Amino acid sequence: MTTDTVAIGKRPIRHDGVDKVTGRAQYGNDVKLAGTLYAHILRSAHAHARIMSIDTSAAGELPGVQAVVTSADMPDLSKNTEVINDGEGEGGGLAYMSQNMLARGKVLYHGHAIAAVAATSASIAEEACKLIKVDYEILPPLLSTCDAMKDDAPIIHAAMRTEEAGKLGDKPSNVAKHMQLKRGDMDAGFAEADVVVEREFFTKMVHQGYIEPQATTVLWKQDGTLSIWASTQSPWGVRREVSELLQVPQGKIKVTPTEIGGGFGGKLDVYLEPVAAILSKKAGYKPVKMAMSRADVLMATGPTSGSWIKVKMGVKKNGEITAAQAWMEYEAGAFPGSPVGAGMGVIFGPYRLPNVQIDGYDVIVNKPKTMAYRAPGGTNAAYASESVVDELAEKIGMDPLRLRQLNGAKEGDRRVDGPTFQRVGYLETVQAAINSPHYEDGLAAAPATNIKVGRGVASGFWFNWGGKSSCNAAVNPDGSITLSEGSADIGGTRTSISMQLAEVLGIGVENIKPAVVDTDSVGYNDATGGSRTTFGSGLAAFEVGTKIKQIMIERAAKFWEIDAKDVTLVRGVFKNHSKQMTFAELAAKLDETGGQVVASAATDGKGGAPAFGTHVVDVAVDTETGKVQILRYTAVQDVGHAIYPPYVEGQIQGGVSQGVGWALHEEYFYNDKGLLLNASLLDYRMPTALDLPMIETILVEVASPNHPYGVRGVGEVPIVPPAAAVANAIHNAIGVRVTNLPMSPGEVLRALGKI
Amino acid sequence: MYIAFMQAFDYVNATTIEQAVAVMYREGDMAKPLAGGTDIIVQLREGRKNAKVVVNVKNIPRLAGLDWAPGGALTIGAATPMHLIYGNAPIAAAFPGLMDAFSLVGGTAIQGRASLGGNLCTASPAGDTIPALIAHNAVCVIAGTSGWREVEVEKFCVSPGRNALQRGELLVEIRIPANATGAQKFGAAYLRFIPRNEMDIAVASAGVSVVLEGGKIVKARVALGAVGPTPIVAIEAEKALIGAAVDDAKAVAAAMAAASTAATPISDMRGTLAQRKHLAGIMTKRALESAISRAN
């Protein structure tokens, strides 16, 4: 890309850096209001049970308790059919979302919220919860798509009928939705193939593992307005969801996003805010703070689906893939809305396919309602398809990257889910992987006879999104610019958005003062999610910068008493023949040229510019213990245009780290009663720094045609290939395909036949 | 600041064994000794244990510190934190098999507080120090209202989370014998299997020691962790090794098989029964190889 930039592509100090490294940044749980009450939630001890009665009287009488609530204190929305879409993954019905806040009639998973208490201390609130008596009629839990889809399976939601091609089925079912994508002739496609491979894959529910648990403070005031402070990816989403769930107009709600310690999709929807709100009102309009423990987060927020996926693919000896078919069953959790639809788009995303059929099922089970997790539904989908692609390459004796080159999607090819690709950089990532030092180097020697080493590759696709953004900018007398924006800053977007504003004006990004403001202080912004923020909010910054630039040129013209068309702005300097003036010099003269300069922009970014990645990994497998070590990892990605390269590299490394955790260790471990046994970070094993090598990144820049600076979203696609790449490397090392995630030591030992 | 609930309790800062023992006799199970607190504070906060009185034992002189002369037995005060033990260079060099375990308990910050006595008294089936202490033939020295007694470490754990201490008893110190003299050479090692590379709990572990004389194993100890309700002494594995030459592959295979057989694990989120029995053999082999190389 062009290197003649003032801000873009540089590596400045991030705007939020000092506050974060000094501990001064205010996260969700740092909000302190005078007179705050502390709340605690009583959660279900069972996976599936009817609530026969709830007696909160003893809790209400405990000194210090100010309010106790159950679902009876919330509007009954059980008959409401409205769908709330969080902007990523599948939307959930409002009725279901209401039931997920506080159980109504039945508890549907271990940890499902039943009641909440606000008290003068957190200890009293917790003690009071122990005094709430719940009578349950325990029902059998359904813990897999296989069990939930059996003909005689107990029905979790009595009214549920399977939605299929826009119609509802005629009998109760645990399948919320069946979707199908199809084109070409499957039989002819498979008949043409020289090799057909069909494999089944099981994956477990996994969690985003953001480090900051959900936390909120809510004040319902006597005038009927609500102030909400929340750790969220979506301030306007919180506003809308609270509005809908509590039937309060959106205009009466103000949401202030705090700093956010990670989200990865898991902080798009509300869990605590509506409950804290009704406690606040019931306690007499006092602020109520709620913060989850780690166990709460793991039990009762939104992990991503466990799944069963079957993939069948055919290939000719010359490497041409002739047909591809997939059956995908995703656990939605207790309420509809798994990311199976997105998974269907990802599963064969990198390929040009003449004959393809994908069937996807959104299946209710007695586990927490799933929520978006970084490229939702993509990692497990690619694990299945990219393992099969690897096997096709092996069976026809072709280098697996060569096979991808022959079949890779490019501009003009039609995606399985409909749209035609504009300019995309998939083939460029494959070529860069082939040319990488990693792929050119041989494998490291095994240090002992029980250790086997191997290499794997895999590719991944993610849609990316544009979405709506708004921002306000004001020029200060010293030439700095205050930028008020509304995108919760998870991945360093204050800086990547500011850099685009700075670039338009030709000034350094240190002159931009970005602030993430509340929902009353700037126009609507979609969530920080879908890899959209640097793209979509960057567009708003570009537009507001363009407006400021035009106004400032007019001011310079006025000052010089010439025509505006005779003034240029180049690298932050206004010029007219021999006359020139810096941006800061003009900013100091605003009062003389017509007063303050402000602008705002509201944009809706279309064509979010899909991203592709191709990963190469070397592993060492201890064949006696089944333990897999990652020896070397290289992630190649089409990043469009790296606005802030360190963040882009960090996003890729972060996605790979989570993907490796999913590949090797992470899983929701339920007993046969449906109780989650590993709701702690001791036994829910995310990788530590000691479990990963330095992850090398190779940034390929194929500019997006839909953005003035060529931006593509970069945050999600790096989590798509890792599980498949690691599986393929394990196969290369030990000659066995591991088809269950996680590929934990026990799973590898089983695949080896050692246990 | 949101503070998680913790039950209220009284705090006694004991400076003598007699004082601590008196309180613990008076309150029975509702009195909990406190050394580093890395287990008990978490257990109290999470409601897994209850206490009316917490008795700080760190300020009792005999419970804090090390006593060792080269070639002799090592005595470790029960409240001595791990880092003071493995941070003592001569002791660490003389007892590498113990240091394998002591340096694994938690991270560095935890090791600054966590005591050997605490790890032992917690009596976790997966406690890292216990198989290593058993392999070293360590003995617990216990004070009580009715006098003092000694219990071998291998008999100290009675069930998950329960130890042999009776009402009013306090673990004072752990005594580790020299284990070999003259022409005999002693070597020991502790190894555990964890899925990650750190921050994990053993799926299976083994503490193994050997006494070598003339190229033969004359004594052997094999203790297994995380594969039963308490650490397990694999007696048949020990028998398979005693008398064998150090390079006798058949004896090693027999010991591995015996260790697998001795293991009585459960399946849980950390591993399955079959996996743990398999790993008991693998960890025994690897710890044995290390113990032999240290003895030579």
Across A721-738, average pLDDT: 98
Rg of chain B over all Cα atoms, to the nearest angstrom: 19
B278 touches chain A (CB under 8 A): yes
Q: What is the CATH number of the domain that holds B272?
A: 3.30.390.50
**Residues 6+ away with beta carbon under 8 Å from A395:** A195, A197, A315
Same-domain pairing of B163 and B193: no
- How much is the pLDDT for A89? 46
Across A727-745, average pLDDT: 98
Buried b (16+ CB within 10 A) or exposed e, A419-437: eebebbbbbbbbbbbbebe
Q: From CA A255, how far away is CA A235, in angstroms rounded?
A: 6
pLDDT tens digits for A537-561? 999 999 999 999 999 999 999 999 9
Same-domain pairing of B142 and B200: no
Q: Among B176, B199, B219, where does a domain finish? A: B176
Same-domain pairing of B214 and B133: no
Residue B99 maps to a domain = yes
Note if the bond before A63 is cis, omega within 30 degrees.
no
Across A499-518, average pLDDT: 98
Contact present, A702 and A640 (Cβ < 8 Å): yes
**Facing residues of A3 across strands?**
none
- How much is the pLDDT for A301? 98
Q: Which residue of B has its CA nearest to A626?
A: B195
Q: Among B149, B176, B203, where does a domain finish? A: B176
Same-domain pairing of B283 and B217: yes
Contact present, B193 and B202 (Cβ < 8 Å): yes
Contacts of B200 in chain A (CB under 8 A): 682, 685
Q: What is the CATH number of the domain that holds B47?
A: 3.30.43.10
- How much is the pLDDT for A609? 87
Q: Which residue of B has its CA nearest to A217?
A: B2
- How much is the pLDDT for A152? 95
| Residue type at position B264 | T
Range of the domain at B226: 185-295
User: Is this complex scored with an ipTM above 0.90?
Assistant: yes
Contacts of A749 in chain B (CB under 8 A): 275, 278
- How much is the pLDDT for B16? 97
CA distances from A556 to A501, A508, A567, A572, A595 (A): 19, 20, 7, 12, 13
Q: B2 vs A745: CB contact, 8 Å cut-off?
A: no
- How much is the pLDDT for B76? 98
Q: What is the CATH number of the domain that holds B149?
A: 3.30.465.10
- How much is the pLDDT for A1? 46
Contact present, A118 and A38 (Cβ < 8 Å): yes
Contacts of A688 in chain B (CB under 8 A): 196-199
Rg of chain A over all Cα atoms, to the nearest angstrom: 27
**Residues 6+ away with beta carbon under 8 Å from A565:** none
Q: Which residue of B has its CA nearest to A747?
A: B275
Same-domain pairing of B191 and B290: yes
Same-domain pairing of B190 and B158: no
**Facing residues of A117 across strands?**
A40, A68
Domains for chain A: give ranges and CATH numbers. 17-25+466-605 (3.30.365.10), 31-139+212-261+267-300 (3.90.1170.50), 307-464+608-751 (3.30.365.10)
pLDDT at A85 over 80: no
Contact present, A653 and A714 (Cβ < 8 Å): no
Across A665-694, average pLDDT: 97
- How much is the pLDDT for A82? 78
Residue B2 maps to a domain = no
Q: From CA A298, how far away is CA A284, in angstroms rounded?
A: 32
Residue B144 maps to a domain = yes
CB contacts under 8 A, A 194-233 vs B, are: 215
Residue B263 maps to a domain = yes
Residue B249 maps to a domain = yes
CB count within 10 Å of CB B29 equals 11
pLDDT at A463 over 60: yes
At residue A608 the predicted structure's pLDDT band, cuts being 50, 70 and 90, is: confident
Same-domain pairing of B112 and B141: yes
pLDDT tens digits for B73-85? 999 999 999 999 9
Residue B245 maps to a domain = yes
Q: How close is the nearest chain A Cα to the Cα of B176, in Å? A: 31
The span from the first CA to the last CA of chain B, in angstroms, equals: 56
Nearest C-alpha neighbor of A683 from the set A672, A673, A671, A668: A668
- How much is the pLDDT for A664? 98
Q: From CA A85, how far away is CA A91, in angstroms rounded?
A: 4
- How much is the pLDDT for B103? 94
Same-domain pairing of B85 and B117: yes
- How much is the pLDDT for A16? 94
Structure tokens at A551: 């106004």
For strands A573-576 and A579-582, give the pairing: antiparallel
Same-domain pairing of B101 and B149: yes
Same-domain pairing of B91 and B116: yes
- How much is the pLDDT for A290? 98
A754 touches chain B (CB under 8 A): yes
At residue A359 the predicted structure's pLDDT band, cuts being 50, 70 and 90, is: very high
Q: A289 vs B199: CB contact, 8 Å cut-off?
A: no
Nearest C-alpha neighbor of A684 from the set B199, B280, B267: B199
Q: Could you tell me what percent of chain B has a pLDDT over 90?
A: 92
Cα torsion through A703, A606, A650, A480, rounded to 10: 90
Q: How close is the nearest chain A Cα to the Cα of B130, in Å? A: 20
Q: Could you tell me what percent of chain A has a pLDDT over 90?
A: 96
Q: Among B20, B37, B56, where does a domain finish? A: B56
A669 touches chain B (CB under 8 A): yes
Contacts of A677 in chain B (CB under 8 A): 268-269
Across A636-653, average pLDDT: 97
Q: From CA A561, how far away is CA A473, in angstroms rounded?
A: 26
Average pLDDT value over all residues in chain A:
96
Nearest C-alpha neighbor of A236 from the set A395, A378, A87: A87
Q: B282 vs A683: CB contact, 8 Å cut-off?
A: no
Across B85-103, average pLDDT: 95
DSSP character string of A427-486? HHHHHHHHHSHHHHSPPPPPSSTTEEEEEEEEEEEE----EEEEEEEEE-TTS-EEEEE-
Same-domain pairing of B51 and B82: no
pLDDT tens digits for A141-196? 999 999 999 999 999 999 999 999 989 999 999 999 999 999 999 999 999 999 99
B282 touches chain A (CB under 8 A): yes
pLDDT tens digits for A255-289? 999 999 999 999 999 999 999 999 999 999 999 99
At residue B3 the predicted structure's pLDDT band, cuts being 50, 70 and 90, is: very low
Q: Could you tell me what percent of chain A has a pLDDT over 70?
A: 98
Residue B3 maps to a domain = no
Across B136-152, average pLDDT: 97
B249 touches chain A (CB under 8 A): no
Nearest to B195 among A215, A291, A627 (CB): A627
- How much is the pLDDT for B6? 60
Same-domain pairing of B137 and B201: no
Q: Which residue of B has its CA nearest to A679?
A: B269
Q: From CA A474, how far away is CA A551, in angstroms rounded?
A: 11
A23 touches chain B (CB under 8 A): no
Q: Could you tell me what percent of chain B has a pLDDT over 70?
A: 98
Contacts of B277 in chain A (CB under 8 A): 755
At residue A606 the predicted structure's pLDDT band, cuts being 50, 70 and 90, is: confident
Overall domain count for chain B: 3
Q: From CA A353, how far away is CA A324, in angstroms rounded?
A: 7
pLDDT tens digits for B196-230? 998 899 999 999 999 999 999 999 999 999 999 99
- How much is the pLDDT for A88? 52
Residue at token pair 């990004």: A509
At residue B4 the predicted structure's pLDDT band, cuts being 50, 70 and 90, is: very low
- How much is the pLDDT for A91? 53
Residue B4 maps to a domain = no
Nearest C-alpha neighbor of A421 from the set A411, A435, A433: A411
